[in-house]
Chains A and B, each alone.
Chain A
């Protein structure tokens, strides 16, 4: 087989670049990409139960792109480019590239800062702008969020980095609150005792920071009891829904009811009880007297 065509070349300042060396460059890059992918896969499997997902993915990404960068730059002489020359040209090329791909570079830099500062991690529940959900991946250019209703939202890293991020699971515990309304005729102390007893029986309602249950408001139709409970951040929603219904059931079982909004209307039927000064005859009489005395 005649392979002489591989020697066809182009002379550059860094020597002669042949078709063979270009093919070699492509082959090395392809092989390195394959090797980096295999290594990533192996690391992903072997570190699965040992390292948390966010650290694992960051390490794998750094390794993957690190291998490709090193291989790419170390093999540039094969295609007639001197890497040290790139450093000189880098300044000018950087400016040109910067203007040409401002958004991409901005997202890329933001991605690097997101990985370094780590305000969010893979698996966290976050709210970024109006998007709430789980962080499924932090990529070089964008961050992927799976919303609570299962939609995939891709947010550019620049937007993530420059906007307010609420990390719902940023701290190990969080507090939630209820307002329980009882009738004025009910014993508020008994209601507080029953609620505290329910909280005590709930494993995930934390002992410290301690829960608080107190009468917070004497409202129009009810005595309002505020209930504040701290819970592990990954368990709070389940407890919140469970305890509320248990409180309702427990109070009702003990004769304490949650009142509907109400207004007391008194209809007076006994005329004798109307104060004399409000009697209409007297008002008319005084008016008549006034006319008699002054206007007549």
Chain B
């Protein structure tokens, strides 16, 4: 009985892991194609040619040097069509009400961008080669016209258990809501700073975040940085799985002291 139960879970897990996604490490020459994206690195004499095609958009770059490998992984969804803000605003499809002092866990989806990095063996000297996205791009303003902040916009349903979106389009965010005030909180959106984002992938793309409601109008959001070993209780499929940590575009930048948390001062 127990054996068949475990076997069933292992079979299901195998199905999830074998979902054919292009994330991973590649040694040139190689060619990979999925959902209209075509990525290849081919030898051209002493050079390597990186070529990426997505619909009518084609990128070609020349790589000099041998013994490099390419990493394709999900990155913070704030680089395309142009990096103009480090903030991501996720609007809820329905307004959520949280009672005073309550702590609840919900699941949202967030947009994915696909980053292509080149590195020496051992992931040294990582360099971003290209970023692309398959999802709709839209920006919005959080706050007032005078002092607000521009944010990348995304609309998500609220899930009580982990959803299963396409990993090239959307990721899963586990959001812990904590209402530290004694009043009810009406939540329709949440804003995050990309500087704290940590994405993990393996069959799906995952991110764990929190939102602490401080009072009627203010909240603080941030990300959990510890490595995830798939301890999502709501989805037993992932209990056996350890996700890989994705390389981020923002973590590559040489930054000074930047806040990794976002203070939501214009309501939520």
Contact = CB atoms under 8 A, between A and B. Distances in A.
Interface stretch (B14-22, B133-141, B217-225): B133-141
Contacts of A204: 84, 139
B255 A50 contact: yes
A173 B84 contact: no
A173 B254 contact: no
B146 interface: yes
Contacts of B44: none
A207 interface: yes
Interface stretch (A24-32, A33-41, A181-189, A227-235): A227-235
User: Dominant SS at the A interface?
Assistant: loop
Contact of A206 (B82, B140, B253): B140
B253 A207 contact: no
A172 B150 CA distance: 7
Q: Give the interface size class of chain B.
A: 20 to 34
Given A171-B145, A173-B141, A206-B139, A232 B84 contact: yes
A221 B189 CA distance: 45
Contact of B150 (A47, A49, A51, A232): A232
A280 interface: no
Nearest to A201: B136
A98 interface: no
A51 B142 CA distance: 24
Contact of A209 (B85, B141, B153): B141
Contact of A51 (B84, B145, B153, B256): B256
B13 to A, nearest CB: 37
A173 B81 contact: no
A49 B145 contact: no
B101 interface: no
B203 to A, nearest CB: 29
B133 to A, nearest CB: 10
Contact of B139 (A50, A51, A171, A232): A232
Contact of A208 (B84, B141, B147, B256): B141
B138 A208 contact: no
Interface residues of A, number: 17
A281 to B, nearest CB: 71
Interface in A24-73: 47, 49-51
A50 B254 CA distance: 7
Contact of A230 (B141, B149, B253): B141
A150 interface: no
B29 interface: no
A203 interface: yes
Contact of B138 (A172, A203, A234): A203
B24 interface: no
Interface string B124-156: 000000000000011111100111111001000
Contacts of B148: 172-173
B145 A173 contact: yes
Interface in A185-217: 203-204, 206-209
Nearest to B146: A171
Given A47-B256, A203-B137, 8 more contacts: A49-B255, A171-B146, A203-B81, A203-B139, A207-B138, A232-B85, A232-B139, A234-B84
Interface of A: 47, 49-51, 171-173, 203-204, 206-209, 230, 232, 234-235
16 contacts: A47-B256, A171-B145, A172-B147, A172-B148, A173-B148, A173-B150, A203-B137, A206-B139, A207-B153, A208-B140, A209-B145, A232-B85, A232-B139, A232-B150, A234-B84, A235-B84
4 tightest A-B contacts by CB? A50-B256, A203-B137, A207-B140, A208-B140
